[in-house]
Structure 1
Amino acid sequence: MNYKLLPLVLFLLTLSVSGQQKITVESIYRGMFRTQDMDELHSLKKTNQYAVLNYNQAAQSTHIDLFDFATLQKTATIIDTKDHKDMPTIDSYTFDSNEKMLLLACNSSPIYRRSSTADYYLYDISKKELTLLFDFQIQEATFSPDGAKIAFVRENNLYVYDIASKTTSQITTDGKKNVIINGICDWVYEEEFEFVRAFDWSADSKKIAYIRFDESQVPEFSMNIFGQQLYPVNQTFKYPKAGEKNSEVSLHIFDVVSKDFKTVDLSNYSDFYIARMQWTNDANVLSAQILNRHQDNLDLLFIDGNSAAKKVVLNEKDKAYVGITNNLTFLKDNSFIWTSEKDGFNHIYYYDKTGKLKNQVTKGNWEVTAFYGLDEKNNTVFYQSTENGSINRGVYKIGLKGNNKVALSNQLGTNEATFSPNFDYYIRTFSSASQPTTYTLNEVKSAKELKVIENNAALSNSLKGFNLPTKEFFVLKTEKGNELNAWIIKPKDFDASRKYPVFMTQYSGPGSQQVANKWNSLDDYWCLMLSQEGYIIVCVDGRGTGYKGAEFKKVTQLQLGKYEVEDQIDAAKVIGNYPYVDKSRIGIFGWSYGGFMASNCILKGNDIFKMAIAVAPVTNWRFYDSVYTERYMHTPQENASGYDDNSPINFANRLKGKYLLIHGSADDNVHVQNSMEMMNALIKSNKQFDSQIYPDCNHGIYGGMTRIQLFNKMTNFIKENL
């Protein structure tokens, strides 16, 4: 076949009778609808420039390009892999504080969701000298603030590499797999507190603080990796399930000069988490966020770097749980920015260096969704929020005293920003349900758009042939009076006199959001594809989801799956009464937490839902990890009914409709045990169901043709049963 003619052939093959080009699962998951993005965008601090990692397909090389914020002109290519023999693709990069050197991570090898080992190269920008640091892979290589050293972790131990002498010093020696970890998080911290690097340099580069994890008493989870060998390999790792033993954590300070160790005395806390740890702008003051196991009480500690003495500078309590963020930001005088939900909505607060509140910077019945930074010269805070409605995001600036607020974005949708180091300019990223991602250069002073960087016009033009329906946003009101954000996609040839089947998609997890005014994900294209097959697609964010205030989000506390399932069932009842809906043909789908929900809906709503697909579902919260589960449920020992009353395993005998259960056998997150126990419960109840196990696939179930096979399987199941 002439492959140059292939796009034309595909186009002709996928035209419908009406002339509408058809979406296929293959076209979605082979990248036909991928947007052009700015990868690894870094705003420099020393110069008014930004760097982007680009890929040259023709040369099969990666290069880091430097651009001027004011003009968008490319000022230099810092490094191009084609100029260095045998250099692999660059996966990520970091500058030293002087922006004269780069650490380049290549050949990254994933461990869990956020962690990986990599080959690290050191690149001297002015000398154009490239050095492979080691002939082995390491984790989380990080420059010291003075650029003289690099700290990293190898095989659970912390090391320091001196750049000038090219020598390595080992800081810890007791690291051992499944026993002791120094400077890197254990599985549950990485997954649920969302960080990997558990060490940090002091501002003067003289000290390193790190967290030590003793996971020797944490129960182990094992899973078979089948591979191609004669016998499967057993992979064992520490995984604390709800109510089980967590790692014992301790906080240490290492003096790089004197080689002295100090341990911070945390003996007044028991069964606690060190949820965050970072040095302040004062080289002798370390901050740490200590969270109790119930996660409803947090202490922000300031710790003396010499004596390791500590004091509580801020305490945060919540009747449900305290959210952990990366927003803690220190000013030059060590006063700091903090975000909190204590007035019912997430807002920005300003404290002096002793922890005394100076001002609540933002206020209102809306949420701050990102803190971008502070222009100390002009005492101006930059942030993102839901001030234009919970499904939208806008970018704003406001005075540190809460005055002179200015909107820096005016389009309704999802706006994000990357600011220049002097806060004169920002690159705005914008998308909506009808507008693919655009990148523009904007001026802070006037908030005006100066230039378009990328608008994905090629994608917009290619989509015209598909003549796709639009996603319509609305507020669905249930019979109980709950008002829920929702969207609906109707077939392009929608006829109000017809009766359509409805396919509901949702996630529904605490603080999540699926009903958002932003550009399509790959799964959105799958929904659009199903609309071309004559289905109405609906998504509803029930109670427990985010960005509508703490009360709405935290109503599900101690009973995950009660109100969320109730809301999906009630929403399906409302939708079923639409004159153009066939109420006997409503289905529901979800992945992970959404799979937990879909399973409960087909069981507890067995007279409402005709079919359900659950991918990688939690089926009993006893099987899931301690940090996530106990944040919302406390332990099974304390709240047995909360766990049992909403576990789909306990309601398997209610199954009436068609149910498809899918899981990856190597899911380190939601273990395949969940689906096995669900199958066992259904078998014991003599219920027929369909299932699919994906060998050696993790929670994402991807790789090779896997996603295509998976989504074709789900599509066929929908067509056959809805």
Structure 2
Amino acid sequence: MFSSQQQQQQQPHSAQDEDEEEKSFLGFCSFCVELVGGTSKKQNWKGLAIAFIVITIICLFIAAAILLTSIQRITSHDELLPISEQDIFNIKIPKSWNGTWISNKYFSYLDTNDSIWIYNCDTLKEQLLFRRDIIQQENIGHGIVSPSARYILVPVRKEKTRPYYTEYQYELYEKSKIIAPITFSNDQKISLSAVLYSHSDHLFAFIHNFDVYVYDINQKTSYKVTSDGDRDIIHNGLVEWIYEYEIFNRNILLFWSPNDNYLAFIKINLAKLPKNHYLKYDLTLENDDQYSVPYPKCNDPLPLLDVYIFNIKSRKIISVPRPIEYGKLKKSDVYVYHVVWCGDTCLSIVYGNRKQNSSIIQLYEISNDKIMLQSKFIEETRKSFLLSRFLKPYFSSYGDIYAYIIRFDPLNIGKSMQKAFPRVVRIQFNQTYPQINAKSPGEINADEIIHVDNLGQVYFTGSRLYDSLEKQLFRWTYSNSKSEIECLSCNESCGYANAQFSLGNGAYYILECLGPSIPYSTLYNRNEKLALINDNGPYREWANKRLMPYMEYFSVPLNDKNTVGNGMIILPSTYNPNATIVSYPVIVIINDRLSDQRVNKKYVAPLTEYFYFIFIQVIHDNISIVIFDSHGSTGQDESYLKSSFQDWFEQQHEDYIKLVQYFKSNEERFNGRFSNARFGLKARGPVAVIALKLLEENNDENELYSCAFLQSPVSDLSHYHAIFSERINGLKVNVKSSHRLNIRNKSLAIVHGTADEVVPFKHSAMLSKSLIDSGIHFDFKVYPDADYYFELDPVLYSDVFNYQRRFFRECLAERMNETPKVIPSEETD
């Protein structure tokens, strides 16, 4: 990510540097005059004249040097090429590590020709495993390599693409020799929705038509684990709908035990859910043009979730009992967040209630196809809303049985203020009442646990208490009541890091530095750096020749309790921070994801799907883009993430008002370039409610926001899917945008697909009726048979973007067509 400091590094000599050099030059000349001139009445005027001539010559040399340097700076700046709309076709975007750990010492990866390689971390050598040209067709998906790299599942045909998985037909290879296609006993080729390899070479599980199968390579055959799978009723081991993904945050719900004796899976029962109905717009379909999708709304029955265990040897299925503490709840009002093996016969499951104010970790022991509850840990939250990644337990068998999770822990801020920040905590299970007996140090906010080794050392990502924009990799050790923490990525000049550990005991890990500069990946063992794996060299060379947009961070005070919202503004590449730029129009993008942090030190690649279109607008339309983390975002304290249900929308609304006021009133911070700027909004899904309410706002007869572009807007939260709406809105309060709106002299555009399974099209239809009834002019573009994910269809996404671009050109036109006025900083003094 190019922050203000980084762009100055890309353009090493700024106007401020020139000012400093000129001041130094004048100061030096004055010093020389004072040194030679003196004040004595017995001055040697002839010597003084000679001295002045010498000083003049020296000053001329210095002035010439400054002039030549300035010309060189301008030339080097002019030699940089702006990002064009064709660049996306000519350069591959920078990528994070594209490998997959297959064992404790091997990982597989694809090269630029889509051939499969393996890397041996013991020898630091790579080996070609499978050449793509063997099957003589273009790559359609990643191959899946067995733990010892002996077998490869190669996708040979793409069947179907869904938001959370893609179906392929596979062939099984041993090195470069084909063994067999994946078929049923009648040699019928089948499409697989998901594949999960076991810890050994000869077994893997897969999903076909929402049923679970296990394939035995030794016997070259598969056998069926479940037989009740159905897209509309029963999902075994696979996520299909948005509300399922909101619960699990993963698409495959299969879990092998460490020794591959058992396969656990989650069954999702949708039988009693209400449905949304859809129409296919195809004149050739006379009797098959309608279909329905299960869709639970606020207060509707939720999917029924149960965990089952399949014994590989006996081929029997064991049903896992639910917590007795939730016995009085409806069965569908119990969430299953995580399934984690804590041993080959020890299984842990994390449950939560529908109100999201309590969670239970239960440990089960399996013996002779029977399951028994061994222990449990119950956690009540201070504020509702359970963050799934915080709840996942990581186990260590070092001595006693310990589980590590993340939870919010109170911390005193000053003398009279207390806030709760996320900490890693250790739960001791092998006692009558499991309890927390250790916490990570308070100066580090935890974000996600990555790995726990067999010595009880916890590797997690987090940030220092007062630098929420960064993310570093830390190692926490707690032994004999002594707590030690070490930052493993801070010495890499890295502001945003992640790590991926090898399977098993995690002897190796890939440290990914994802920002603020161009990403690179490095291989480590537990003691030292071993090798640079990827530095994105081709992209780095390309980027060094491009004139990138200018990016700058800012913080908006939100209340009198030292609460601030972090933001990032993306400005045209010609912007100079040391000059006053008058009236840049601004598009503010409202975040539609809860528990997300968009403003951080991660590198912003201009050619990624999301930021490419943002950069095109900034560079070619002469506007600026603002991204802001309002209430509901992670990275700060618990209260910032978990606003009370009733005022979440109200707080978001107030945050975005204060955002505009901050820009318009903070002339010193922004050199007055936003005091008269026009602001537009872009919103998707449920946050359309906030955008519409902001359009109604006027402050002292000055408009705050001039227009809004809404994609798949939610008009009534009570008719949005329950997992999201109840998380922010509770079980009682409804938030609607379909009331009579008071929007005058503002521009509004709506786009929506009729096959949207996330936000049903009727939301936009109802919003349109309300706008018409209120006498409000608006534009509406409908995309027949398009779903929520426009970005998955390049042609459709391009059309949406061009429509959005024209809309903002019109609503911000009087500012966008102006050439920005640059006033040297001296004139503003």
TM range (shorter): 0.7 to 0.9
3-state SS, counterpart of residue 650 of structure 1: coil
Match of 1:337 in 2: 404
3-state SS, counterpart of residue 251 of structure 1: strand
CA distance, structure 2, for counterparts of residue 594 and residue 502 of structure 1:
18
CA distance, structure 1, for counterparts of residue 760 and residue 708 of structure 2:
20
1:698: Cα distance to partner?
2.1
Match status 1:706 vs 2:783: no
In 2 relative to 1, CA 40–539 (structure 1 residues): closer, same or farther, beyond 3 Å? closer
1:331: Cα distance to partner?
2.8
CA distance, structure 1, for counterparts of residue 436 and residue 644 of structure 2:
33
CA distance, structure 1, for counterparts of residue 130 and residue 720 of structure 2:
44
Report if the CA contact (8 A) 1:659-1:690 is conserved: yes
Match status 1:235 vs 2:280: no
CA distance, structure 2, for counterparts of residue 456 and residue 605 of structure 1:
47
Pick from 665, 687, 690 the counterpart of residue 776 of structure 2: 687
Report if the CA contact (8 A) 2:155-2:171 is conserved: yes
3-state SS, counterpart of residue 515 of structure 1: coil
1:567: Cα distance to partner?
0.5
Report if the CA contact (8 A) 1:544-1:556 is conserved: no
3-state SS, counterpart of residue 529 of structure 1: helix
State, as a whole percentage, how many aligned pairs show the same letter.
Answer: 19
Match of 1:471 in 2: 551
Pick from 113, 117, 142 the counterpart of residue 167 of structure 2: 117
Match status 1:82 vs 2:133: yes
Report if the CA contact (8 A) 2:494-2:513 is conserved: no
**Post-superposition CA distance 1:673-719 (Å, at most 9, x none):** 22222111101111101122223222221323222222222122111
In 2 relative to 1, CA 597–455 (structure 1 residues): closer, same or farther, beyond 3 Å? farther
Gaps of 5+ in 1: 1-16, 57-61
Match status 1:716 vs 2:772: no
Pick from 82, 94, 100 the counterpart of residue 42 of structure 1: 100
In 2 relative to 1, CA 408–658 (structure 1 residues): closer, same or farther, beyond 3 Å? same
3-state SS, counterpart of residue 674 of structure 1: helix
CA distance, structure 1, for counterparts of residue 217 and residue 122 of structure 2:
34
| Counterpart AA for 1:221 | N
1:89: Cα distance to partner?
2.6
Give 1 or 2 for the bigger CA radius of gyration: 2
Counting only pairs closer than 5 Å after superposition, residues 150-189 of structure 1 correspond to structure 2 as 150-185=204-239, 187=241, 188-189=243-244
In 2 relative to 1, CA 42–183 (structure 1 residues): closer, same or farther, beyond 3 Å? closer
1:279: Cα distance to partner?
5.2
Match of 1:10 in 2: none
Match of 2:570 in 1: 489
Counting only pairs closer than 5 Å after superposition, residues 532-571 of structure 1 correspond to structure 2 as 532=619, 533-571=621-659
Match status 1:504 vs 2:588: yes
Match of 2:600 in 1: 516
| Counterpart AA for 2:803 | K
Name the structure with the higher helix share. 2
CA distance, structure 1, for counterparts of residue 462 and residue 750 of structure 2:
37
**Post-superposition CA distance 1:547-602 (Å, at most 9, x none):** 11211111253333210111111111121223222446121223334544333322
1:218: Cα distance to partner?
0.5
CA distance, structure 1, for counterparts of residue 198 and residue 121 of structure 2:
27
In 2 relative to 1, CA 235–34 (structure 1 residues): closer, same or farther, beyond 3 Å? farther
Match of 1:140 in 2: 194
Report if the CA contact (8 A) 1:603-1:656 is conserved: no
Match status 1:64 vs 2:64: no
Report if the CA contact (8 A) 2:753-2:787 is conserved: yes
Match of 1:630 in 2: 726
1:137: Cα distance to partner?
0.7
Counting only pairs closer than 5 Å after superposition, residues 338-377 of structure 1 correspond to structure 2 as 338-343=405-410, 344-354=420-430, 356-357=434-435, 359-364=437-442, 366-376=444-454
1:327: Cα distance to partner?
3.9
Pick from 373, 385, 392 the counterpart of residue 321 of structure 1: 385
Match of 1:6 in 2: none
Match of 1:456 in 2: 536
Counting only pairs closer than 5 Å after superposition, residues 612-623 of structure 1 correspond to structure 2 as 612-623=708-719
Match status 1:293 vs 2:354: yes
Match status 1:601 vs 2:681: no
Stretch deviating more after TM superposition (352-361 or 146-155): 352-361
In 2 relative to 1, CA 288–281 (structure 1 residues): closer, same or farther, beyond 3 Å? closer
Pick from 97, 102, 109 the counterpart of residue 52 of structure 1: 109
Gaps of 5+ in 2: 1-76, 184-188, 411-419, 813-829
Report if the CA contact (8 A) 2:96-2:520 is conserved: no
Match of 1:415 in 2: 497
Match status 1:529 vs 2:611: no
**Post-superposition CA distance 1:248-291 (Å, at most 9, x none):** 23333333333434333337253333423535243222222221
CA distance, structure 2, for counterparts of residue 451 and residue 154 of structure 1:
40
CA distance, structure 2, for counterparts of residue 90 and residue 331 of structure 1:
39
| Counterpart AA for 2:807 | F
1:427: Cα distance to partner?
3.0
Match status 1:575 vs 2:656: no
CA distance, structure 2, for counterparts of residue 341 and residue 99 of structure 1:
42
Report if the CA contact (8 A) 2:248-2:338 is conserved: no
CA distance, structure 2, for counterparts of residue 65 and residue 698 of structure 1:
36
| Counterpart AA for 1:720 | E
CA distance, structure 2, for counterparts of residue 375 and residue 335 of structure 1:
12
**Post-superposition CA distance 1:105-129 (Å, at most 9, x none):** 454445542133222333334x844
3-state SS, counterpart of residue 648 of structure 2: coil
1:239: Cα distance to partner?
1.3
Match status 1:445 vs 2:527: yes
| TM-score, length basis structure 1 | 0.86
1:659: Cα distance to partner?
1.0
3-state SS, counterpart of residue 370 of structure 2: coil
**Post-superposition CA distance 1:340-367 (Å, at most 9, x none):** 2354322222233437346434232543
Match of 2:44 in 1: none
1:203: Cα distance to partner?
3.6
In 2 relative to 1, CA 329–230 (structure 1 residues): closer, same or farther, beyond 3 Å? same
**Post-superposition CA distance 1:401-457 (Å, at most 9, x none):** 463322222324211223456766543322335x222223456535x5x65443334
| Counterpart AA for 2:109 | V
| TM-score, length basis structure 2 | 0.76
CA distance, structure 1, for counterparts of residue 79 and residue 805 of structure 2:
22
3-state SS, counterpart of residue 663 of structure 1: strand
Pick from 204, 211, 214 the counterpart of residue 269 of structure 2: 214
1:616: Cα distance to partner?
2.1
CA distance, structure 2, for counterparts of residue 661 and residue 342 of structure 1:
42
Pick from 497, 513, 529 the counterpart of residue 430 of structure 1: 513
3-state SS, counterpart of residue 707 of structure 1: helix
3-state SS, counterpart of residue 771 of structure 2: helix
Match of 2:151 in 1: 101
| Counterpart AA for 2:308 | H
Report if the CA contact (8 A) 1:144-1:201 is conserved: yes
For CA contacts below 8 A with separation 6 or more, give which structure has more relative contact order. Answer: 2
CA distance, structure 2, for counterparts of residue 184 and residue 353 of structure 1:
31
| Counterpart AA for 1:212 | K
Runs of at least 4 residues of structure 1 off by over 6 A? Answer: 17-20
Stretch deviating more after TM superposition (621-630 or 328-337): 328-337
Report if the CA contact (8 A) 1:603-1:655 is conserved: yes
Report if the CA contact (8 A) 2:446-2:461 is conserved: yes
| Counterpart AA for 1:436 | I
